[in-house]
Amino acid sequence: MLVSLLRMGGIGSIWAARHLGLGKDVAVKFMSASLATDPTAIARFHREGALMARLKSPHVAEVYEHGVAEDGLPYIVMELLRGEELSDRLARAGRFSLEQTVALVSELCAGLAAAHTLGIVHRDITPEHVFLADVGGSPSVKLLDFGVARGDLDCDGTTLTATGAVVGSLVYMSPEQFFNPRQVDGRSDLWSVAVMAYQALTGAPPFEEKGLEALLGAIRIGNFPLPSARRPDVAPAVDAWFVKALSREPSGRFDTAEEMADALRQAAASGRPPVAPAGAAGKAS
């Protein structure tokens, strides 16, 4: 039973609803009627539901079912999230503390680890596709929107995004998504996470040149200001983490989401001042 409209967009709408069979409040994503006559769009929509239904992680929005409504519109039923998109939080807060950035990366990487284990590459990780949810009074990062994800082949042996096709959102796309799409793998998702982490920590993305040609040129070269140049309290170990995470070549990056998150936690810890023993404060030497 539909309750209220949450969001309307070009590809469809999302509604809050009550699932009578499950006995819980849910969110229902409907495909736009204007796209419901496009076989490729329909297949991609169903594929998104099928891929997300396979993912079982507290940091990926849970999908309960997907199908076609009586009016012919494809739908996906997923958990109803309360909170806000990362894009809205960044617009309001400007930037995060190092601790908040580490938590963001850790939880995103946990969700991506679950996806990558199943051979699913998201390919469009942006602040609009990351949700900061309130789960039982505690914050939790949730990865959304697997609409252009690459995963299993379809039953006829074809994929729903052409091999070599450029997909994603420009600022957060890895170099290989632009220049060698056939080589995109999980490390491309990790690049996108690093771009968002840089933006969260410093208040601006690492590559912010205006215009497509200038942006592509900056990403191709791979030079960006170290975070400490924009935020002096950033430690050298954290700078080094970003240099590796944003390596132009995938082979220069972290190999897995778990490795990437662990390395940032260690880098952040190495930059903290040591904790004085109890009773040491104020002692004369």
Angle (CA) 218 254 120, round 5°: 95
Burial class of 248 by CB neighbour count within 10 A (0 to 12, 13 to 18, 19+)? middle
Instruction: Please check whether residue 127 is in contact with residue 96, taking contact to mean a CB–CB distance below 8 angstroms.
Output: no
Nearest to 75 by CA among 28, 39, 32: 28
Q: Which of 25, 88, 124, 145 is catalytic?
A: 124
Instruction: Please check whether residue 53 is in contact with residue 66, taking contact to mean a CB–CB distance below 8 angstroms.
Output: yes
H-run or E-run covering 93: helix 86-93
> Does 124 participate in catalysis according to the annotation?
yes
CA atoms within 13 A on the CB side of 124: 16
Separation of alpha carbons 184 and 177, rounded Å: 6
Separation of alpha carbons 168 and 146, rounded Å: 11
Instruction: Please check whether residue 66 is in contact with residue 75, taking contact to mean a CB–CB distance below 8 angstroms.
Output: yes
Residue whose tokens read 């809050």: 16
Token pair of 264 as six digits: 């940032």
Nearest to 105 by CA among 271, 259, 270: 259
Residues marked active site are found at: 124
